[in-house]
Structure formats: structure tokens, C-alpha cells
């Protein structure tokens, strides 16, 4: 039972993680794209549609990535080339994404989807807890590789340094001859691709069906995670899993009965007593509170670990959300 | 007297850079109007001009960040088009920016790496930078975060970054405006050494003494046009100033009384404050009393706590202990800006647009925003309803504009439509019009042309004649020597004891600005 709970947690956390790590790169370059939710939905619906018509989930994943990136270029053109207000443009992108994905996906509602199958390595996957490490769906491994890759790129490569410099001071970067707009385009495209991938994960792995507005606010949570994680990839990983874990845990708590605890605790009677007491407390609070718990706990934990104001400010992209217009 | 002939333009094979008829137009403003400039190999060439004369526009075109509308650039005998800073660097043009082009959240080594096109690893760049900085006597720690460094140290990074590219021409834009006199001396040594190595330097400044000291030739710009080429050593400071300004500069007149016996109008006692952010200064046990009828100047290199001191005294940063700031013998430490204004104090912050005035609002609205409470009786009517009395506000605005000679294009223009100097005159006039007992001004003439600066300084002195106390925070030592009765220096958040102007020398002040302990506390 524990293994299956952990597996659900991983599946629930993965889309948050993928979308947030993409937005982290965007924000590190100094751009605030509030269109994550919209880009996720576009990735979800197009990924689902392509997988359904071709029967190949991998083509669906690819289509989701391309759809997210292409959709983000609309934002990039408005916010970077035309230097519109990034907040308003990002909100518009989300609204457009919600509407457009609903329209595109009308024919797909209720259709059984194509599921991306988990990997299976004979022997390893069959070990105790083997499914956790060697038997998950490919998106889980991709999401972890993305975190490691982004972390390495940002802090270990020259290109990553250039990207951070653009986010820190676009005027200085421009004076040095760094192509500010071009770098921001690339960052926004990466963020869009990640959001599209996160959407495809939802429609091809998490639920393997298309439901209108199926991301249900995950794009917004990903955005918040980036800020609360003070723009650090490892903290985004922590935040995404914390959020996923508490979301799943509170669902299980709501479904638990005192008997389950006694069974789970076995002969350890004191655990069973403590568990019963905890359950009775949790059951006595309104269910809405439990539903709000993931948000609350994630914010509290990430705020507590970001108490070092100096470190936070150093990691904050100083140009975040400020349009750049070169004087030429 | 400078003429077109005095500094004969270099010609022939020794010429490194030959600029002909370079023009840049922004909308209806001709920032550079057919500018000619010749720089020989191994010379330090000065580019002189007032704020807004087109110096920065010209060098931006030379460094590829601005595209000229007309004209040609000949580099080493070949006509070139410089389309980007990268191209400028490849040609051998390096630049040290006035408002440094550094990234505060990155280390010195990372900052240097960003301007090098190579793919050398950062550790190698750090080692090379360290070695070069020591050989030039400009010690530098490549691993330190730029946000933690003093302005002088930041400039070192810029210079080392520039030298690592091994340029033939180094452009320095107002390099000493942020340095102590001693740091400036060090810079001049470096520049002379570079000249000895055969490098050329384009030195942009409006400080005439420096130009006379180190520059071989000078090109003077006024309103975007070249008005003279000359040899600065054959000129006097006065003749150079006349070329820059195009007329005589009004001299500020004041006599320094030996002894000021006025009543203390503002007292700051043991003011200490923790830093407000990662890149801000703490304030350490600052005490200062300013009496009626005197101007106290606060000198210091930018970023040594002057801004924090201004905020603490003006009430932007409220203190816990009411007795830390006393205005006219009343404890005001816990009062906000409005409370302190009601006690008869006036404040002029450093940043004109966005802090001293709202850029998108009319002058009259800016007048009301500053004085809505202190002049509520005159400006507001209808009792508790507080209707705005436009006629009274507009009359006051008109009075200030006339009093301070604010030149404007419309009857009641938006603040952002005024030039820097005229807006500053308006903001200072807005405070002076209230006849404050205490006036605290941060950088009164920063980026203001010479005429307006003289007008502002005279107004500050005139205010003390009516029995008020004035505190002037400035980076411009000349200004402080001109108007102060006493000078204190801020370094690392501490304030030195005040030095009477008769005993103050540039050297003494400079040492204090560098943080030297005089043993006087």
C-alpha cells in the first residue's frame, strides 16, 4: 500500500515539477510568463489528440512539447518584441489557452486515451519498492533529468551564466553586447515546451483522457512554486513533491477508517492509538481545510527555508517582469 | 583661448581612430551633430562637455550600442561599421561604463567572463584577472559578489575586464565621478602606464582639472556639436569652461563666518540602523548637530550610507527612539515624513523622477503631493472633505517656477517633460517656498547643467541667511567646498566629526572618504 501511495505522489508531482522548472528558466532570464496554465492545457489537448489519432503516445508527448513552445511564442512576440506588459500578456495567454484547448478538445471528451506505459526492467522492477525506482512512467525520469539538467545549465555553463545575467540587469547585458531579446525568446520557448510536456503528462499518464480545463490550476501552483523556491531548481523539486505528497496524503486520510490504522500498525499498539487519535483530529476539521493543506504546507515550508534574505535576493532575477526596449 | 587650430588634429599613420561627421538623431533632438574626432596612438584624449552635450551618445556609437544616422568611422586606416559591442571589442575598442554595466548578483569573475567571447573556463579567467589586477596595482578578489563591493572596487572590475580584452582604445566614461581623490590618483597612474604601453584612451569628463592633468588633447562638445579641438594644458580651467558652457558661469557667492552661534535646529544623536537589504549599508552611531545659519556638507563615495542616512533623517525610515532625530528641539525620531515636515523641515531626495516627483503628473499636482498636509490650510478647502483648491496650488507653482527660473515648454507640464536641471530647480524651489527651518538635500546638482547648479547652490546659501539650517549630501567635493561651513564624511556607514571649511583640504576629506581613521572619534 505504501508503495502505491508513493507512486501516486510521484505521478501527481511530476506535472508541477516539469512546468515549474521550465518557468524557472523563463524567470531567471527576467521574464514573467503567467501563461503556464494556458500552455499546459494546449500541451495536454494537442498531446492527447495526436496520441489518439496516431495511436503512439510518444508522438503525443512530442506534439505536446511543440504545442507548448509554439503557444509561448505568441507571448514572446507580444511581451518581448512589442514590449507589452508581461503580467497582462501572460494572463491573456492563459485565458486564450483555456478557451482554445476546450474548443480543440471538444471531440476528445469521453474518449479513452492512449497511455504511456511505465518502464519494466525484469528483476529490478520486481524487487520490493522496485516499481518506485525502476518501474515508473518515462515522464517521471524525464522530470528528474530536467531538474538536474537545468541546474547544471544555469550554474555550470557559460550560456547559463549569460541567461542569469540577462535576468539580473538587461541594460548591463545589452551594453556588453549580449542579445537580450534573443536569449529571452529562447528561455520563453523552453518554458513553453516544459509546460506543454507537463500538460501531455497529465493527458497521457496521469489521467490518460481529455477533460476540459483538466490542469485545474496546476499551472498557477507551478508559478507559485518558482517564487517560493526562490528560483532554485532543487527547491522547486522539493516544493513540487511536498505539494504532491500532501495532496495525496490528505485524500487518503479522508478515505481512511480507524480500522485501517489498526491493520497498518499491526502489533505496535501505541502507533495504532496515536494514529487513531491523529485521524480523529483530522476528521474533525472541515474537509475544505484538508484540501487547502497542500497549499498551506508548501508555502510555509518554502518560506521557512528561504529565511536567508540575502541568498533570496541574490537568486531573485532583478529584472523580472520589466520590459526591455533597447535604445537604438 | 581654444581655437580650431590650437590642438592640431593628428593625421597620418599614427592615427588610430578617425571619426568624420558622425550624427545621431533621437526624434526631434540631434544628440550628435556631424561630430569629428581624431585619436592618435598612445594618447589620452579628452572628450569634454556638459551633461546632455552628446558625449555618451558619441561613445555609444563608437562601442556599437547605438547606430549612427550618418557619418563614418575609420579605424586603423580602414572604414568600419560597428554594429555591436562584440564587433567593437574584436576591433580592439574597450569601454569602462559610467553607470557600470555590472551584474550585482554575480561574482567579479563571472562579470568578467560575460564580456569575453572566448570559451575559457571561469576559473582560468579568475586566475588571469587576479594576475592582471595585481600587475596594475588594482587588487581584486575574483570570487567576491559585486553587490558587496564599493564603487571603487566595482570600477576596478570594469577596468580589468576591459584590459583582459587587450584593447587598443579604452573609453572611460566619467570614471572619477564615483572615486575618492586618492582612488582617482591611482586611476591616473594606471592610465599613464597604459599610454606608455602604446594604448590610446578616450577620457570623458566634465572635470577640468583632471583633463588638464592627464590629457594630451581635448575635443569639446556643446549641444551635440564639436565647438573646439584644443590642448588642455595650454588652456585655463576658465577658458575650457567657457568652451563647454558657451558663456561665463555664474559664481556662487558666500562668506564663511568664523563662528556660527545659531540655535541648533536639527540634532541627530547616536543614530544606528541595521542594513535594510543585502546591498545596503548599516548606519553606525551617527551624531550631528546643525545650527541656524549654516550649511553642513556630507561628503563620501556613493553607497557608503548617505542614502540610508537621508532616509533616516527625512523619516522615510522611522527610528525606534524618538530622541535620535530632534528638529527644533522636538523629538522627531518616530515621526514620518509628514510629521517632520510639520515641524518645519524640508527634504529633497536624490532621485528626481519617481522619488522627488511623479514623472507622469503635472507640476501643480506634484506640488500638492509634497505639501498636502504641511500646507493643508492653503491647498485644501471644505474642512474634513479636503477639496483641492487648484487656484491656490497653481499660484504657488507659478511662484516657484518664477522664483527658481524653471524653464518649461508648457503652462503646467508633466514633471517628466522638464530637463533634469529644471526639474531639480522646481523640486528644490518647492521646498524653499515653504521657508523651511531645516532643509536636507541629497545630491542637489547631480546631472544638472552648470547654470542650474549655480542657481541651486545660491538658493541654498540664501536660505541659511534667513536663519535656516541646511544639510547637503553630495559626491561632488567642489560643490561642498563651495557652499559648506563644515564638512563631514561618510564611509562604511560611519560619519566623521565635522571639519570647519577653513581647515578642510581635499586631501584630508579624500582620506576620510577612503575610510581612513583620523583617530578623531
Q: Using one digit for the tens of pLDDT, what is the confidence trace for B198-234?
A: 999 999 887 778 888 899 999 999 888 999 899 988 9
B278 and B223 part of one domain? no
B410 and B481 part of one domain? yes
Q: Residue B113 and residue A158: Cβ atoms within 8 Å?
A: yes
Partner residues linked to A84 by β-bridges: none
At B125, list the grid cell.
Answer: 579567467
Give CB contacts under 8 A, 24+ apart, made by B253-262: B253/B458, B253/B461, B254/B461, B254/B482, B254/B483, B256/B485, B256/B501, B256/B502, B257/B293, B257/B485, B258/B502, B260/B291, B260/B292, B260/B293, B260/B294, B260/B485, B261/B291, B262/B291, B262/B292, B262/B293, B262/B294, B262/B467, B262/B469
Residue B369: which residues within 8 A CB-CB, separation 6 or more?
Answer: B358, B361
With an 8 Å Cβ cutoff, is B25 touching chain A? Answer: no
User: Rounded to an integer, what is the distance from CA B102 to the centroid of its chain?
Assistant: 18
What crossing angle do the helices spanning A2-28 and A158-168 adopt, rounded to 10°?
70
What crossing angle do the helices spanning A258-265 and A269-284 adopt, rounded to 10°?
150
Pairing assessment for the beta strands B295-299 and B486-491 based on DSSP bridges: parallel
- In Å, what is the CA distance from A125 to each residue of A122, A131, A133, A142, B489? 6, 5, 8, 18, 72
B260 pLDDT band, cuts 50/70/90, is low
pLDDT in tens, A272-308: 778 778 888 877 888 888 888 888 888 888 788 777 7
B474 and B346 part of one domain? yes
> Considering B211, B245, B279, which residue would you say is the last residue of a domain?
B245
- In Å, what is the CA distance from A101 to each residue of A51, A122, A189, A199, A304? 16, 39, 19, 11, 37
Q: According to the model, what pLDDT value does residue B99 have?
A: 66
B332 and B198 part of one domain? no
Mean pLDDT of B97-115: 85
B211 and B270 part of one domain? no
Cα–Cα distance measured from residue A161 to residue A15, given in angstroms and rounded to the nearest whole number: 27
At A194, list the grid cell.
Answer: 516544459
| Chains A, B: CB pairs < 8 Å | 70
ipTM for the whole predicted complex goes beyond 0.85: no
Mean pLDDT of B292-297: 93
Encode burial over A54-84: b for 16+ CB neighbours within 10 A, e otherwise: eeebeebbbbbbbbbbbbbebbbebbbeeeb
Distance from CA of A232 to the nearest CA of B (A): 14
Q: Is the separation of the CB atoms in B304 and B490 below 8 Å? A: yes
Encode burial over A119-132: b for 16+ CB neighbours within 10 A, e otherwise: eeeeeebeeeeebb
Pairing assessment for the beta strands B169-173 and B200-205 based on DSSP bridges: parallel
Q: Residue B97 and residue A175: Cβ atoms within 8 Å?
A: yes
Q: According to the model, what pLDDT value does residue B499 have?
A: 93
Chain A residues touching residue B277 (CB < 8 angstroms): 309, 313
B224 and B292 part of one domain? no
Q: How many other C-beta atoms are found inside a 10 Å radius of the C-beta of residue B13?
A: 8
Q: Residue B64 and residue A169: Cβ atoms within 8 Å?
A: no
Cα–Cα distance measured from residue B3 to residue B204, given in angstroms and rounded to the nearest whole number: 20
Radius of gyration of chain B (CA): 24
> Considering B245, B276, B296, which residue would you say is the last residue of a domain?
B245
Distance from CA of A142 to the nearest CA of B (A): 29
Residue B385 has pLDDT above 90, yes or no: no
Picking from B102, B122, B277, the nearest residue to A313 by CB comes out as B277
Burial zone of B219 (CB within 10 Å; 0-12 exposed, 13-18 middle, 19+ buried): buried
The SS3 assignment for B25 reads strand
At B169, list the grid cell.
Answer: 582604445
B88 and B151 part of one domain? yes
Cα–Cα distance measured from residue A132 to residue A135, given in angstroms and rounded to the nearest whole number: 6
Q: According to the model, what pLDDT value does residue B4 have?
A: 41
Chain B residues touching residue A326 (CB < 8 angstroms): 65
Chain A residues touching residue B278 (CB < 8 angstroms): 309-310, 313-314
pLDDT in tens, B440-455: 999 888 767 777 888 8
What is the phi/psi pair of residue A295, to 5°?
A: -65, -50
Residue B6 has pLDDT above 50, yes or no: no
pLDDT in tens, B402-426: 988 888 777 888 888 777 778 888 9
Q: Tell me the torsion sign for CA atoms B382, B387, B393, B395.
A: negative
B78 and B112 part of one domain? yes
User: Rounded to an integer, what is the distance from CA A312 to the centroid of its chain?
Assistant: 21
Judge whether B257 lies within some domain: no
Question: How many alpha carbons lie under 13 Å from residue B65 in its C-beta half-sphere?
Answer: 23
Q: According to the model, what pLDDT value does residue B1 have?
A: 41
Judge whether B518 lies within some domain: no
At B137, list the grid cell.
Answer: 596595482
B179 and B56 part of one domain? yes
B136 and B36 part of one domain? yes
Enter the DSSP assignment of B287: E
Q: According to the model, what pLDDT value does residue B3 have?
A: 41
Q: Which residues of chain A register pLDDT less than 50?
A: none
Cα–Cα distance measured from residue A48 to residue A164, given in angstroms and rounded to the nearest whole number: 34
pLDDT in tens, A83-113: 999 999 999 999 999 999 999 999 999 888 8
Residue B2 has pLDDT above 50, yes or no: no
B74 and B146 part of one domain? yes
The SS3 assignment for B435 reads coil
Length of chain B: 521
Mean pLDDT of B397-405: 90
What is the phi/psi pair of residue B286, to 5°?
A: -95, 130
Enter the DSSP assignment of B8: P
Cα–Cα distance measured from residue B38 to residue B22, given in angstroms and rounded to the nearest whole number: 12
To 10 degrees, the CA torsion angle through B178, B181, B183, B184? 80
Query: Which CATH number belongs to the domain containing residue B50 in this structure?
Result: 3.40.50.300
Single out the residue of A84, A98, A90, A88 nearest to residue A40, CA to CA: A98
Q: According to the model, what pLDDT value does residue B7 have?
A: 45
Judge whether B3 lies within some domain: no
State the best of A160, A161, A167, A172 to mutate against chain B, taking most chain B CBs within 10 Å. Answer: A172
Judge whether B41 lies within some domain: yes
Single out the residue of B176, B191, B214 nearest to residue B476, CA to CA: B176
Pairing assessment for the beta strands B225-230 and B264-273 based on DSSP bridges: unpaired
Residue B104 has pLDDT above 90, yes or no: no
Question: Which residue of chain A has the CA closest to B65?
Answer: A175
With an 8 Å Cβ cutoff, is B239 touching chain A? Answer: no
B271 and B239 part of one domain? no
Number of helical (H) and strand (E) elements in chain A, helices listed first: 15, 0
Q: According to the model, what pLDDT value does residue A32 have?
A: 96
Q: According to the model, what pLDDT value does residue B10 have?
A: 47
What number does CATH give the domain A2-315?
1.10.3470
Q: Residue B115 and residue A176: Cβ atoms within 8 Å?
A: yes
Single out the residue of B503, B496, B484, B502 nearest to residue B520, CA to CA: B496
Cα–Cα distance measured from residue B201 to residue B171, given in angstroms and rounded to the nearest whole number: 6
Cα–Cα distance measured from residue A180 to residue B114, given in angstroms and rounded to the nearest whole number: 13
Q: According to the model, what pLDDT value does residue A265 have?
A: 62
Cα–Cα distance measured from residue A27 to residue A322, given in angstroms and rounded to the nearest whole number: 11
Q: According to the model, what pLDDT value does residue B520 have?
A: 41
State the best of A157, A175, A181, A317 to mutate against chain B, taking most chain B CBs within 10 Å. Answer: A175
Max alpha carbon distance in chain A (Å)? 77
Query: Residue A3 is inside which H or E element, if any?
Result: helix A2-28
- Count how many domains chain B has: 2
Picking from B106, B114, B145, the nearest residue to A176 by CB comes out as B114
* Average pLDDT for chain B: 85
Distance from CA of A182 to the nearest CA of B (A): 14
At B139, list the grid cell.
Answer: 587588487
Cα–Cα distance measured from residue B391 to residue B516, given in angstroms and rounded to the nearest whole number: 54
Judge whether B6 lies within some domain: no
Q: Which domain holds residue B444?
A: 264-513
Single out the residue of B22, B15, B52 nearest to residue B36, CA to CA: B22
Residue B149: which residues within 8 A CB-CB, separation 6 or more?
Answer: B108, B157
Single out the residue of A143, A45, A27 nearest to residue A90, CA to CA: A27
Chain B residues touching residue A178 (CB < 8 angstroms): 114
Residue B247 has pLDDT above 80, yes or no: no
Q: How many other C-beta atoms are found inside a 10 Å radius of the C-beta of residue A242?
A: 20
Q: Which range is least confidently modeled, A38-47, A157-166, B497-506, B508-517?
A: B508-517
Q: According to the model, what pLDDT value does residue B517 have?
A: 53
Residue in the structure block whose three cell numbers are 525610515: B317
Q: Is the separation of the CB atoms in B285 and B271 below 8 Å? A: yes
Angle at A218 between CA A214 and CA A222, to 5 degrees: 155
Percent of chain B at pLDDT exceeding 70: 91
Chain A residues touching residue B122 (CB < 8 angstroms): 158, 161
What is the phi/psi pair of residue A55, to 5°?
A: 75, 5
Q: Is the separation of the CB atoms in B287 and B270 below 8 Å? A: yes
Chain A residues touching residue B279 (CB < 8 angstroms): 313
pLDDT in tens, B20-46: 999 998 877 788 999 999 999 999 999
Distance from CA of B286 to the nearest CA of A (A): 25
User: Rounded to an integer, what is the distance from CA B484 to the centroid of its chain?
Assistant: 18
Amino acid at each position: 500500500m505504501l508503495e502505491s501511495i508513493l507512486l501516486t505522489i510521484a505521478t501527481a508531482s511530476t506535472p508541477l515539477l516539469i512546468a515549474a522548472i521550465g518557468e524557472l528558466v523563463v524567470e531567471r532570464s527576467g521574464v514573467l510568463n503567467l501563461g503556464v496554465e494556458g500552455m499546459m492545457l494546449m500541451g495536454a489537448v494537442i498531446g492527447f489528440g495526436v496520441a489518439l489519432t496516431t495511436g503512439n503516445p510518444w508522438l503525443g508527448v512530442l506534439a505536446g512539447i511543440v504545442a507548448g513552445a509554439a503557444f509561448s511564442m505568441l507571448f514572446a512576440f507580444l511581451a518581448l518584441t512589442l514590449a507589452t506588459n508581461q503580467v497582462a500578456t501572460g494572463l491573456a495567454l492563459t485565458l486564450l489557452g483555456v478557451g482554445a484547448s476546450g474548443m480543440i478538445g471538444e471531440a476528445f471528451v469521453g474518449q479513452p486515451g492512449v497511455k504511456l506505459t511505465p518502464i519494466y526492467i525484469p528483476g529490478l522492477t520486481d524487487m520490493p519498492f522496485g516499481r518506485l525506482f525502476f518501474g515508473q512512467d518515462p515522464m517521471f525520469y524525464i522530470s528528474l533529468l530536467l531538474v538536474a539538467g537545468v541546474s547544471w545549465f544555469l550554474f555550470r555553463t557559460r550560456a547559463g551564466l549569460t541567461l542569469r545575467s540577462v535576468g539580473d540587469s538587461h541594460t548591463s547585458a545589452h551594453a556588453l553586447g549580449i542579445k537580450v531579446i534573443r536569449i529571452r525568446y529562447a528561455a520563453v520557448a523552453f518554458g513553453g515546451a516544459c509546460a506543454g510536456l507537463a500538460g501531455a503528462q497529465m493527458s497521457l499518464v496521469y489521467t490518460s483522457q481529455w477533460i476540459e480545463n483538466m490542469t485545474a490550476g496546476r499551472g498557477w501552483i507551478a508559478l507559485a512554486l518558482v517564487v517560493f523556491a526562490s528560483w532554485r531548481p532543487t527547491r522547486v523539486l522539493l516544493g513540487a513533491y511536498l505539494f504532491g505528497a500532501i495532496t495525496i496524503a490528505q485524500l487518503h486520510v479522508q478515505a481512511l477508517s480507524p480500522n485501517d490504522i489498526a491493520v497498518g500498525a499491526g502489533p505496535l499498539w501505541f502507533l495504532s492509538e496515536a494514529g487513531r487519535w491523529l485521524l480523529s483530529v483530522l476528521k474533525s476539521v472541515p474537509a475544505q481545510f484538508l484540501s487547502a493543506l497542500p497549499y498551506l504546507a508548501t508555502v510555509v515550508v518554502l518560506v521557512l527555508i528561504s529565511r536567508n534574505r540575502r541568498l533570496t535576493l541574490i537568486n531573485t532575477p532583478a529584472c523580472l517582469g520589466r520590459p526591455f526596449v533597447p535604445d537604438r | 583661448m581654444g581655437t580650431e587650430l590650437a590642438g592640431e588634429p593628428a593625421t597620418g599613420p599614427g592615427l588610430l581612430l578617425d571619426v568624420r561627421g558622425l550624427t545621431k538623431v533621437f526624434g526631434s533632438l540631434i544628440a550628435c551633430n556631424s561630430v569629428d574626432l581624431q585619436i592618435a596612438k598612445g594618447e589620452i584624449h579628452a572628450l569634454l562637455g556638459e551633461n546632455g552635450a552628446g558625449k555618451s551618445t558619441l561613445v555609444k556609437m563608437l562601442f556599437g550600442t547605438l547606430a549612427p544616422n550618418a557619418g563614418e568611422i575609420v579605424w586603423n586606416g580602414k572604414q568600419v561599421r560597428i554594429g555591436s559591442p562584440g564587433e567593437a571589442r574584436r576591433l580592439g575598442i574597450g569601454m569602462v561604463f559610467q553607470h557600470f554595466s555590472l551584474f550585482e548578483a554575480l561574482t567579479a569573475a563571472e562579470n568578467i567572463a560575460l564580456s569575453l567571447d572566448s570559451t575559457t573556463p571561469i576559473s582560468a579567467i579568475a586566475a588571469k584577472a587576479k594576475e592582471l589586477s595585481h600587475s596594475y596595482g588594482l587588487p581584486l578578489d575574483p570570487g567576491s559578489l559585486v553587490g558587496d563591493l564599493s564603487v571603487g572596487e566595482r570600477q576596478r572590475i570594469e577596468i580589468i575586464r576591459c584590459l583582459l580584452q587587450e584593447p587598443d582604445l579604452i573609453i572611460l566614461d566619467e570614471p572619477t565621478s564615483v572615486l575618492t581623490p586618492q582612488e582617482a590618483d591611482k586611476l591616473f597612474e594606471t592610465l599613464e602606464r597604459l599610454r606608455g604601453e602604446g594604448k590610446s584612451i578616450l577620457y570623458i569628463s566634465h572635470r577640468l582639472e583632471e583633463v588638464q592633468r592627464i590629457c594630451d588633447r581635448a575635443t569639446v562638445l556643446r549641444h551635440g556639436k564639436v565647438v573646439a579641438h584644443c590642448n588642455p594644458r595650454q588652456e585655463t580651467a576658465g577658458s575650457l569652461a567657457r568652451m563647454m558652457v558657451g558663456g561665463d558661469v555664474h559664481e556662487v557667492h558666500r562668506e564663511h563666518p568664523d563662528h556660527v552661534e545659531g540655535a541648533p535646529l536639527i540634532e541627530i544623536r547616536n543614530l544606528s540602523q541595521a542594513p535594510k537589504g543585502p546591498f545596503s549599508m548599516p548606519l553606525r552611531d551617527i551624531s550631528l548637530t546643525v545650527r541656524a545659519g549654516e550649511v553642513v556638507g556630507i561628503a563620501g563615495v556613493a553607497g557608503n550610507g548617505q542614502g540610508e542616512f537621508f532616509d533616516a533623517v527625512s523619516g522615510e525610515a522611522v527610528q525606534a527612539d524618538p530622541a535620535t532625530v530632534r528638529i527644533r528641539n522636538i523629538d522627531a525620531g518616530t515621526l514620518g515624513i509628514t510629521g517632520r515636515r510639520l515641524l518645519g523641515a524640508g527634504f529633497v531626495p536624490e532621485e528626481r523622477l519617481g522619488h522627488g516627483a511623479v514623472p507622469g503628473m503635472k507640476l501643480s499636482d506634484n506640488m500638492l503631493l509634497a505639501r498636502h498636509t504641511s500646507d493643508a490650510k492653503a491647498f485644501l478647502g471644505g474642512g474634513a472633505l479636503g477639496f483641492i483648491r487648484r487656484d491656490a496650488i497653481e499660484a504657488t507653482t507659478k511662484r516657484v517656477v518664477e522664483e527658481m527660473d524653471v524653464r518649461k515648454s508648457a503652462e503646467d507640464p508633466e514633471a517628466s517633460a522638464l530637463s533634469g536641471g529644471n526639474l531639480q530647480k522646481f523640486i528644490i524651489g518647492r521646498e524653499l517656498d515653504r521657508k523651511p527651518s531645516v532643509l536636507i538635500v541629497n545630491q542637489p546638482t547631480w546631472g544638472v547643467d552648470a547654470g542650474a547648479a549655480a542657481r541651486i547652490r545660491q538658493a541654498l546659501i540664501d536660505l541659511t541667511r534667513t536663519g535656516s539650517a541646511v544639510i547637503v549630501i553630495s559626491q561632488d567635493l567642489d560643490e561642498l567646498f563651495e557652499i559648506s561651513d563644515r564638512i563631514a564624511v561618510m564611509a562604511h556607514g560611519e560619519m566623521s566629526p565635522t571639519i570647519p571649511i577653513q581647515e578642510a583640504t581635499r586631501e584630508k576629506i579624500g582620506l576620510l572618504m577612503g575610510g581612513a581613521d583620523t583617530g578623531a572619534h
